[in-house]
Amino acid sequence: MLLSIPDVLTREQVAQARQILDQADWVDGKVTAGHQSAKTKDNMQIPEGHPAAQQLGEMILTALGKNPLFLSAALPLRVFPPLFNRYSGGQSFGTHVDNAIRQVPGTPHRIRTDLSATLFFAGPEEYDGGELCVEDTYGVQRVKLPAGHMILYPSTSLHHVTPVTRGARICSFFWLQSMIRDDGRRSLMFDLDLAIQRLGRDLPDQPAAQQSAVQLTGVYHNLLRQWAEL
């Protein structure tokens, strides 16, 4: 499932982040690429563990921790510290699949990458090209979102970034391990959660609807109990 999550960050947060990103030291993005994807990866990154990346990463993770849509869709267990990349002057990233396992820098922990996230820090009007193209069962989905919005997609997907031919595309990208590994199961949980919320919101005065909501909430938690890996 591909999901666009609007307004993860406010305009003020995006503006503040852009000031920091514009002054940061950018290095060749091949530093975090695997052997194969390094051949097709052409962009700039802020080094892992750089103070700017840490500060902005915390801003992002704090915002996501309070975002109901993200929490419901991702059911996150562990989130990789956000990284930052910049494409300009024709830079692109060819078709690849993200590594399945990532070592969390500076810790003994590894995470399994179930979901990949890209959070946009430049608006679509600021650059040409730079679309994130994700291959899913419905074909290629082309993604280019307003600043502050984020796309979440299964890390199992092949994907690429088209060349940026004007301006600069600045994003954060990271991975997460979900409590539910399987994308199909996780999508079912998300659908069920949305339906329960709708019952509570749209039919608050109908006892039969509210009874159903309670019963379905039971189903939700019992499925989570069966499927969650912690």
Give the residues lining the site for Ni ion (CB under 5 A): 98
Per DSSP, what are the bridge partners of residue 96? 159
Our CB check for Ni ion shows the closer of 98 and 131 to be: 98
Two tokens at 103? 């070592």
Cβ 207 vs Cβ 183: under 8 Å:
no
**H or E, element range at 129:** strand 128-129
CB of 62 to Ni ion, least distance (A): 24
CB-nearest residue to Ni ion: 98
Between residues 98 and 183, which has the closer beta carbon with respect to Ni ion?
98
Task: Report the nearest approach of Ni ion to the CB of residue 40 (Å).
Answer: 10
Could you tell me the smallest distance in angstroms from the CB atom of residue 18 to Ni ion? 23
Residue 26 sits at φ, ψ, to 5 deg, of -100, 140
Please, what is the minimum distance in Å from the beta carbon of residue 98 to Ni ion? 4
Q: Which is nearer to Ni ion, 121 or 174 (CB)?
A: 174
DSSP state of 89: T
Between 98 and 193, name the residue whose CB sits nearer to Ni ion: 98
Query: Residue 202 phi/psi, 5° resolution?
Result: -90, -25
Q: Which is nearer to Ni ion, 42 or 98 (CB)?
A: 98
CB of 158 to Ni ion, least distance (A): 9
Place of tokens 């291959």: 135
Q: How far is the CB of 124 from Ni ion (least distance, A)?
A: 20
Strand order in the sheet with 132-136: 93-96, 159-161, 132-136, 139-143
Query: What are the C-alpha distances in Å from 29 to residues 20, 69, 84, 204, 208?
Result: 18, 30, 9, 51, 56
- Rounded to 5 degrees, φ, ψ at 62 are -65, -45
